[in-house]
Structure 1
Amino acid sequence: MATASAFIDIPASADKVWQLIGGFNSLPDWLPLITNSEASEGGRVRTLQTVDGAVVVERLDTFDNAAKSYSYSIVQAPFPATGYLATLKVEAQGQGARVTWSGRFAPVGVSEEEVVALFAGIYQGGLEALRANYPT
């Protein structure tokens, strides 16, 4: 399995950041790449629409409100990977918060380096978009 991760420090409390990103169906609230998210199966599945029209279906695997963390897997997506499992986590970091987005997956039809670069870029770009919600 290949892995990728990214983190960013945000000048807001962990509770405040979790309030924005902790909802499994809240991606359109902070991630410009996602234009729509529809929940199903009691909120455990989200169907995402991207700005370029792609559809991604993800399943919530674990959710820990106290630890400000959730993990999800991809059910359907146009990515060259299988066995995808990612975690989004918020931790207190001094006066602010550190958000970490990480995942593991196996490449399909591309090199491990290519799929790692793809997801590392998605995570870093997403976290930078999140950070833009908290001006200093």
Structure 2
Amino acid sequence: MGRFLALDYGKKKTGIAVTDELKLIASGLTTVPTHELFAFLTEYLRNETVDQIIVGEPKQMDNTPSEVEVLIRPFLKRLSLKFPEIPVDRQDERFTSKIAFQTMIDSGLKKKQRRNKALVDEISATLILQDYLKRKQ
């Protein structure tokens, strides 16, 4: 039994979250520089079983794709070529960065810690994965 793995794909950094093997709980894993993402995924998938990859789908309020979607589409193509055995799904990621930042405030992180964009990306990936799990229940 494998995990779900979620990606909050960004131009510079990508936040990563995973579920437990029962696919009940989403947890932040890490944030990696986007140019190192395939190396990270190759190593991770060598050691862990992943049943599905969920990639955040950035949308505008009017439901049109966000600007970063033009970067995500070539990534998705490359992802399916590199790991054809793992299905990929998308999850609306509107407001995840704002919710992640608010979560950091609510959890008592100091201002300096809240400036850590890598942590915001990791929390955003976790929120994407939690939303996906809720949608699939």
Whether TM exceeds 0.5 here: the answer is no
* Structure richer in strand, relative to its length: 1
